[in-house]
């Protein structure tokens, strides 16, 4: 369902939907969304939010967390609704109509890297959770987020920041009227050494160029994006090394871990609102090249050369979408019908896993050339039965075609295809006393790595293995409400359930497949966004989740790395005299690390503070990240590894601490 629409006075057959001005979660979304867990957030909500990394932008989605277990250039770990989403398997991201998730990726299925986003150029963030939205397809069972960049700048922006641990960042952006449209450009440069014993040596460059013609009822945009990043990594370390060998918590076992990434995209969007309805067309082309050097087990498999692996992914992605929305009146009932077509093709000339030492390839474990095509068609019918009741019925069909060429193990070559139809149904009641109620039902899915669908022999051992299904089905339900009864306060409450089919997926880190069985998750979410006066904003979100494997003994039901409780909140002030500030807290509870629950990671709490002064077009701010210098873990795992000198492998907790307290200063000016 569109969150806003353009209007044309002379289009008499089209209802004037008006324009939704988005300032934050306090925006009036009654009648605009079809679920309590959906929403839209504007730049003013996160303008003063202190961010330690771009991936934390997703934390504007209530209940979502972003952490890191390796270098800054790598995609974050995401947590939502009881999922350790790894790097994005069941959470989809998009920028200006271009999907960010990468299927059949060298490091993990659905790899989602947000480092190419410049936060200052994000206009609004649209989000949703659950498999209830017909327009959302692959990787969106837990949720989705769409970033929309600005069409124009009110004033140019020059920004420079510096801080502890060799942090430097600069942003320059402006827009100009060119012909009948606006040409916007933005560049970002970021260098960072980090607090680790081995410098991160982050060298990050971002560029955005956008041309937009917006005539209200029609328009188009052309967007180009360029991103490059290279870095050295400090990965998770085994607890025993710190406890028994006095190894520094900020140290790294493998001194040559790290990576590099580049991404270039070109996209176009076109829209028209007429007496025939609203038509939207989009197309995109993306090139990306990725290299990652990791060592998770140290000397477990190879006591001499070590266990470092190199993961490579080079691809070309092409796709687009056509969508038509028709607003009608049948027998006195307001009817909205939507039909859409989405097409995507990934040509991956090289997705590979190598055994390496100090970034030198020693052995090829697997190397593939993959062609992967997906086609999604969807339809949605919305009927406004009465002033206080509407239904939304949707149906989505997805079709996948895989062609896999295994260059070093011909038996793993082949073709595969699959299809799924996903019905959706939602009911919206109200509002009564500025309160709206929702019931949502739906089926969804995520695709599996193409290599796993044709695999027959394990790349390492040569043993026979079972291929995976191309599509893993999900189904879920949610009941919720959104209330604005108290002036200035927006609250949502949702009770949800999600079941996932067999999670047998290809594991990029190991080069093989790993079964995990069926699972279910259910929980409760409460969000609050309160603006009692113009200069003060308060928010508080809590999510309680239960995650468990089904069809297994009770001693094996825990889902490793599933977060049961997340709490986030903060206060932001923006005073008329130019002073502003933001204090934010993020907490997640103990996390099970094994199926039997015998090993867990302790809870984590981090507080960030931002404060500053704004005078006319000038702004100076101070950010204190990890204000109380927490030594909690950003993420933890439990698995077997072997350190140099150990006679055999040891099962242990491997963790990555949150970064120590750091101070950053930023100065900006408008021109």
CA distance 185 to 165: 29
In the numeric block, the tokens 């028709």 are attached to 326
- One DSSP character per residue, 293-341 reads EE-SSBTSS-TTT---EEEEEEEEEEEEEEEEEEEEEETTEEEEEEEEE
- pLDDT tens-place string over residues 604-643: 999 999 999 999 999 999 999 999 999 999 989 999 999 9
3-state secondary structure of 31: coil
**Least confident residue range of 191-205, 273-287, 454-468:** 454-468
Q: How confident is the model at residue 9 (pLDDT cuts 50, 70, 90)?
A: very low
Does 46 have pLDDT greater than 60? yes
Fold designation for 39-670? Maltoporin; Chain A (2.40.170)
Is there a contact between 119 and 46 (Cβ–Cβ < 8 Å)? yes
Q: What is the mean pLDDT of residues 431-454?
A: 95
pLDDT at 460: 81
End-to-end CA distance of the chain: 37
Q: Would you call the peptide bond into 431 cis, given omega within 30 degrees of 0 as the criterion?
A: yes
Q: Model-level pTM greater than 0.95?
A: no
Q: How confident is the model at residue 515 (pLDDT cuts 50, 70, 90)?
A: low
In the numeric block, the tokens 């390839």 are attached to 361
pLDDT at 17: 36
- Beta strands 39-42 and 618-625 are unpaired
CA distance 608 to 570: 9
Does 512 have pLDDT greater than 80? no
- pLDDT tens-place string over residues 261-311: 999 999 999 999 999 999 999 999 999 999 999 999 999 999 999 999 999
pLDDT at 658: 94
Which two structure tokens, joined as six digits, stand for 503?
């999670």
**Least confident residue range of 11-20, 213-222, 582-591, 608-617:** 11-20
Phi-psi group of 433: left, alpha or beta (phi > 0 → left; psi -120 to 50 → alpha; rest → beta): left
CA distance 199 to 108: 26
Give me the residue spans of the domains in the chain: 39-670
CA distance 493 to 437: 10
């Amino acid at each position: 369902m569109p969150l806003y629409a353009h209007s044309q006075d002379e289009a008499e057959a089209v209802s004037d939907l008006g324009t939704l001005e988005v300032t934050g979660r306090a925006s009036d979304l009654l009648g605009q969304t079809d679920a309590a867990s959906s929403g839209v957030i504007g730049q003013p909500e996160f303008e003063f939010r202190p961010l330690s990394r771009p991936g934390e932008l997703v934390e504007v989605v209530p209940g979502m967390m972003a952490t890191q277990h390796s270098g800054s250039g790598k995609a974050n770990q995401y947590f939502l609704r009881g999922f350790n989403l790894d790097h994005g398997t069941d959470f989809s991201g998009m920028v200006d109509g271009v999907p960010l998730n990468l299927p059949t990726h060298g490091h993990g299925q659905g790899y989602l890297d947000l480092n190419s986003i410049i936060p200052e150029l994000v206009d609004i963030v649209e989000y949703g959770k659950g498999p209830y939205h017909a327009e959302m397809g692959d990787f969106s069972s837990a949720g989705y987020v769409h970033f929309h960049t600005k069409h124009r700048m009110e004033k140019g922006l020059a920004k420079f920041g510096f801080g502890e641990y060799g942090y430097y960042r600069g942003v320059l952006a402006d827009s100009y009227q060119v012909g009948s449209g606006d040409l916007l450009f933005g560049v970002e440069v970021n260098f960072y050494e980090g607090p680790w014993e081995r410098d991160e040596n982050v060298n990050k460059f971002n560029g955005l160029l956008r041309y937009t013609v917006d005539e209200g009822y029609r328009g188009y945009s052309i967007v180009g994006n360029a991103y490059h990043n290279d870095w050295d990594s400090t990965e998770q370390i085994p607890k025993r090394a710190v406890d028994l060998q006095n190894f520094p918590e900020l140290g790294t076992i493998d001194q040559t871990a790290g990576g590099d990434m580049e991404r270039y995209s070109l996209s176009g969007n076109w829209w028209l609102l007429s007496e025939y309805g609203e038509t939207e067309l989009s197309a995109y082309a993306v090139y990306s090249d990725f290299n990652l050097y990791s060592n998770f087990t140290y000397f477990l498999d190879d006591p001499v050369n070590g266990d470092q692996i190199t993961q490579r992914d080079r691809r070309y992605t092409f796709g687009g979408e056509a969508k038509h929305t028709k607003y009608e009146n049948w027998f006195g009932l307001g009817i909205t019908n939507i039909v859409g077509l989405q097409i995507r093709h990934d040509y991956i000339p090289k997705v590979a896993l190598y055994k390496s030492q100090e970034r030198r390839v020693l052995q090829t474990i697997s190397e593939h050339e993959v062609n992967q095509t997906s086609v999604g068609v969807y339809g949605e019918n919305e009927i406004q039965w009465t002033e206080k009741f509407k239904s939304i019925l949707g149906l989505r069909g997805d079709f996948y075609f895989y062609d896999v060429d295994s260059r070093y193990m011909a038996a793993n070559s082949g073709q595969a295809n699959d299809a799924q139809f996903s019905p959706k149904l939602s009911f919206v009641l109200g509002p009564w006393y500025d309160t709206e109620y929702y019931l949502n039902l739906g089926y969804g899915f995520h695709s599996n790595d193409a290599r796993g669908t044709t695999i027959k022999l394990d790349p390492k051992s040569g043993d026979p293995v079972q291929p995976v299904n191309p599509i893993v089905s999900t189904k879920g339900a949610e009941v919720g409400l959104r209330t604005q009864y108290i002036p200035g306060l927006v609250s949502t409450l949702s009770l949800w359930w999600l079941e996932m089919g067999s999670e047998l997926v290809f594991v990029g880190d190991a080069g093989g497949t790993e079964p995990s069985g069926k699972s279910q998750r259910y929980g409760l979410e409460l969000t609050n966004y309160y603006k009692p006066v113009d200069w003060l904003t308060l928010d508080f979100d809590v999510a309680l989740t239960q995650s468990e494997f089904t069809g297994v003994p009770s001693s094996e039901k825990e889902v490793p790395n599933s977060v049961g409780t997340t709490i986030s909140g903060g206060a932001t002030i923006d005073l008329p005299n130019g002073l502003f500030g933001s204090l934010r807290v993020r907490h997640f509870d103990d996390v099970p690390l094994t199926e039997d629950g015998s090993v867990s990671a302790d809870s984590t709490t981090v507080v960030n503070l931002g404060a500053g002064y704004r005078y006319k077009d000038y702004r100076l701010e101070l950010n204190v990240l990890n204000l109380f210098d927490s030594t909690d873990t950003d993420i933890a795992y439990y698995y077997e590894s072997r350190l140099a000198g150990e006679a055999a492998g040891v099962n242990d907790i491997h963790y990555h601490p949150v970064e120590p307290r750091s101070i950053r200063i930023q100065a900006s000016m408008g021109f």
